[in-house]
Amino acid sequence: MKLTMSLKNILSSTKSKRCLTAMFGQALLEKSNSSLNLVMVYGTKIKSREFEEENSHEEADTLIPHQVLASIDESKWQEICVWSPDTDVLTLLLDLVFRGHLGSHSLTSLKLLTGKGNEYRQIDVVERVQVIGRRKCQGLIGLHNFSGADWGGKFVGITKKTWVRAYLKLSDDDPAINCFWELGDIRLPSELLGTELPEQLKPLEHFVCSVYCPKGPTTLPALQWEMFRSRNLEGEMLPPTRAALMPHITHTNYIAMRDRSYVTSCPILPPIDQSGWSLEKGVYVLVRCLMLSAPRAALELTKCSCKAGCRGRCSCCKNGLPYTPLCKCYGGDCSNSTKNDGHVNDDEDDVEC
């Protein structure tokens, strides 16, 4: 057989890969002589020699813990090994053990095999749950999706490792853990109350603030202003506004709900257009913000970088403006001020973020 296009082009097509996976799966089931019970998952099928069932999972990741559940026989001692390089799978397996789906720990061992060569590791999932603690394990799926996963939604400048470390440092009675646990388990509010997050979600705002600036403000408006004023950061480098965090929480809730659906073959999820996406030109896109981050007239402001005080050639003097809190010389002995410039000398030092 002669190919009319390169193998690279064939494999770049989602449809081609889907057809090849189905073909290989069927061939393996028909020709395998192994005594092991081989289970193949492809397309919408879960097949072995003994059974066949349909599935409607969006992600292959959720089918892995689904098959772990299908493989458990509590009347026997079992060692179930899952090979995957993906942290998404580890998060789902930790949730599976935490929720008691594994049955008796004395009869079933669950391990994740990951990495290659010198990086190869066996992770005992049951042991990891005991080390992390059951209280914190209940919020791991919510945290994983909130802090940025395959679907998107990452926070600029904050790595996944930073989020996880901050989460593991929380005390067991911290209300943020409850919020992460609720993500994917219940329907949450999806609208701001004026300019405030609903009371139920405020612990998530406080947690975000603590990750960006552990000793700083605990509300997003105050944190944004402090980081903008002290660092002169561009808007995209600042923490999200409440109007951006709210739809992000809504997206996270939907994706976490999808991930927790590994317990069933055909999960029923709420309509995506009611979960933080909107239909534009036939394509569903994320709703990223509920309102402008600031009035349009305030999105660009004049400021100077004078450290000791405004000079004749700085942007403030050129534009005939007094200094502002955005200027480097703000709070010093700069003479370029007005009597009613609104500046108050606080007793406390500026926050180090």
Model pLDDT for residues 15-52, shown as the tens digit of each residue? 888 888 888 878 888 887 777 677 777 778 888 777 78
Same structural domain, 120 and 150: no
* Nearest-angstrom CA–CA distance, 324 and 329: 9
Higher pLDDT, 107 or 33: 33
Nearest to 247 by CA among 283, 288, 284, 208: 288
Using only C-alpha atoms, the chain has a radius of gyration, in whole angstroms, of 26
Domain termination residue (choose one: 110, 132, 154): 132
Which DSSP symbol is given to 183? Answer: B
Q: Is the pLDDT of residue 341 over 50?
A: no
Same structural domain, 213 and 336: no
What type of residue sits at position 195?
T
The string of DSSP codes covering 80-134 is EEEE-S-HHHHHHHHHHHHTTTT--TTTEEEEEEE--GGG-EEEEHHHHHHHH-H
Query: Cβ of 212: how many Cβ atoms within 10 Å?
Result: 23
> What is the structure's pLDDT at 294?
59
User: Strand 78-83 relative to strand 108-114: parallel, antiparallel, unpaired?
Assistant: parallel
* Nearest-angstrom CA–CA distance, 296 and 292: 8
Q: Are 263 and 63 in contact (CB under 8 A)?
A: no
Tell me what the mean pLDDT of segment 276-287 comes to.
90
User: What order of strands is seen across the sheet that includes strand 108-114?
Assistant: 78-83, 108-114, 121-124
2 found inside a domain: no
What type of residue sits at position 352?
E
pLDDT exceeding 70 applies to what percent of the chain? 88
Same structural domain, 198 and 284: yes
Q: pTM of the prediction?
A: 0.77
Same structural domain, 154 and 258: yes
Query: Cβ of 166: how many Cβ atoms within 10 Å?
Result: 19
Same structural domain, 141 and 285: yes
Same structural domain, 149 and 256: yes
Nearest to 126 by CA among 147, 145, 112, 142: 112
Q: Is the pLDDT of residue 204 over 50?
A: yes
Tell me what the mean pLDDT of segment 201-210 comes to.
97
> What is the structure's pLDDT at 346?
40
Name the residue range of residue 226's domain: 133-266+279-290
Lowest-confidence segment of 71-80, 103-112, 194-203 by average pLDDT: 103-112
Same structural domain, 140 and 286: yes
Domain termination residue (choose one: 132, 153, 174): 132
353 found inside a domain: no
Same structural domain, 107 and 177: no
User: Strand 45-47 relative to strand 78-83: parallel, antiparallel, unpaired?
Assistant: unpaired
Give per-residue pLDDT as tens, 126-151.
999 999 999 999 999 999 999 987 77
> What is the structure's pLDDT at 258?
94
Same structural domain, 151 and 243: yes
Same structural domain, 69 and 127: yes
Domain count, the chain: 3
How far, rounded to the nearest angstrom, does the alpha carbon of residue 47 sit from its chain's CA centroid?
32
308 found inside a domain: yes
202 found inside a domain: yes
Q: Is the pLDDT of residue 344 over 70?
A: no
Contacts of 126 (CB under 8 A, 6+ apart): 97, 102, 105, 109, 110
Mean pLDDT of the chain: 84
Nearest to 22 by CA among 49, 55, 47: 47
Burial of 61 (0-12, 13-18, 19+ CB in 10 A): buried
Same structural domain, 205 and 246: yes
> What is the structure's pLDDT at 103?
64
14 found inside a domain: no
Domain termination residue (choose one: 89, 112, 132): 132
The Cα angle at residue 235 between residues 230 and 241, in degrees rounded to 5: 95
351 found inside a domain: no
Same structural domain, 192 and 112: no
9 found inside a domain: no
217 found inside a domain: yes
> What is the structure's pLDDT at 288?
86
Higher pLDDT, 324 or 213: 213
Element (H or E) spanning 46, and its range? Answer: strand 45-47
